[in-house]
Amino acid sequence: MSDMLSGLESLGLGGMGKMDIFEDAAKIAQQEKEAARKSAIDAAQQALLDEKACLLDKTQKCRICDFEFKTKSVKTGKAKLVSQDIDLRPRYKEIDSVKYGVIACPVCGYAALQKNFEVLTSGQAALIKEKISSFFTGLPEPGETYTYDDAIQRHKLALVNAVVKRGKTSERAYLCLILAWLLRSKREEVEALAPDDVEKQSAALKAEEYDFLNKALEGFNQAYSKENFPLYVLDEQTSTYLIAALNLEVGNKEEAMRWAGKIIFNQNAPDRIKDKARNIKEIAEGKQSL
């Protein structure tokens, strides 16, 4: 390399003559990537502390095997809603309370959404004992908070229970919806931490989320025509809106517009949900992006 930067000796900068003008670009890019990763890890550690402060342990007795165990629950008033995704997935400030919606017995494998845990007929208990408890090898002891993997495993266990106990279609559809939300959250966490195989992990999580969105849609479509409202916790307007949103997310634009129309032209629908339905229609028409 020639002394391209020579001529600065008179300024006292004689040592700069052999400096490579672009050599450090790659180094800087690498340093920036490391710094971004470190700040994501710091943010994750802080988030963990925030999350811990929002939780309490509750004692729960299993409806099937009578075992008493501790289950994590979000303290009342701690989850502060910041925003919602188009499919109503809530985003909270200090804790993702979506992770804590299932109660699971670590001994016999009985698991259900909090609201449903105590609701069990003797016939359903017998089915769970026969088809789940007799094979179940135990739930791993969680840390002080649930990771997304913990939460996904618990919700899948609750979904298997819902199928085995012949639970309502709406309960199964709701669990599929929550699983889609949890997979989305896990993907966002992976993308923020940016491990070396981030693209591979992200694509796999996106594909799994898509499958659960499709299953949630299938279930809510069925429940909408054969069950009374509310569908699990969703009133008629919210269920209609959600079916529009799920259709949009899985790429059924025509259906998304049809279901959004049911709300937009319904005189009884509140303005708040009408605005959201109009938003779906605009996205489906290509006037806005998802």
- The count of other CB atoms within 10 Å of the CB of residue 100 is 22
Residue whose token pair is 């299932």: 102
Span 180-209, contacts to Zn ion by CB under 5 A: none
Query: CB of residue 65 vs Zn ion: minimum separation in angstroms?
Result: 3
How far the first Cα of the chain sits from its last, in Å, is 52
* Pairing state between β 55-61 and 90-92: unpaired
What radius of gyration, in Å, describes the C-alpha atoms of the chain? 25
User: Of the two residues 91 and 156, which places its CB atom closer to Zn ion in the complex?
Assistant: 156
* Identity of the residue, 61 or 278, whose beta carbon is nearer to Zn ion in the bound complex: 61
Cβ proximity to Zn ion: between 77 and 140 the closer is 140
Q: Which residues contact 286 (CB under 8 A, 6 or more apart)?
A: none
Closer residue to Zn ion, CB minimum distance, 73 or 133: 133
For Zn ion, give the closer residue by CB, 109 or 167.
Answer: 109
Nearest approach, Cβ of residue 107 and Zn ion (Å): 5
Q: Are 145 and 52 in contact (CB under 8 A)?
A: yes
Q: How far is the CB of 153 from Zn ion (least distance, A)?
A: 16
- Please report, as residue ranges, which positions from 225 to 244 form the binding site for Zn ion (by CB under 5 A): none
Beta carbon of residue 103, minimum distance to Zn ion (angstroms, whole number): 10
Quote the CA–CA distance of 176 and 166 in Å, as a whole number. 15
Site string for Zn ion, 25-64 (x = CB under 5 A): -------------------------------------x-x
The residues in 65-84 that bind Zn ion, with binding defined as CB under 5 A, are 65, 67
Closer residue to Zn ion (CB): 158 or 246 = 158
Burial of 80 (0-12, 13-18, 19+ CB in 10 A): exposed
If the CB atoms of residues 67 and 265 are measured against Zn ion, the closer one turns out to be 67
In the complex, least distance from residue 127 CB atom to Zn ion, rounded to whole angstroms: 14
Closest separation between CB of residue 159 and Zn ion, Å? 17
- Which residues inside 92-131 make contact with Zn ion, applying CB under 5 A? 105, 107-108, 110
Partners of residue 234 on adjacent β-strands: 231
Please report the beta strands in the chain, taking only residues with DSSP state E, as ranges in sequence order: 55-61, 68-74, 81-84, 90-92, 102-104, 111-113
Q: Is 270 left (phi over 0), alpha (psi -120 to 50) or beta?
A: beta
Token pair 């517009």 is found at 257
CB of 105 to Zn ion, least distance (A): 3
Binding site for Zn ion (CB under 5 A): 62, 64-65, 67, 105, 107-108, 110
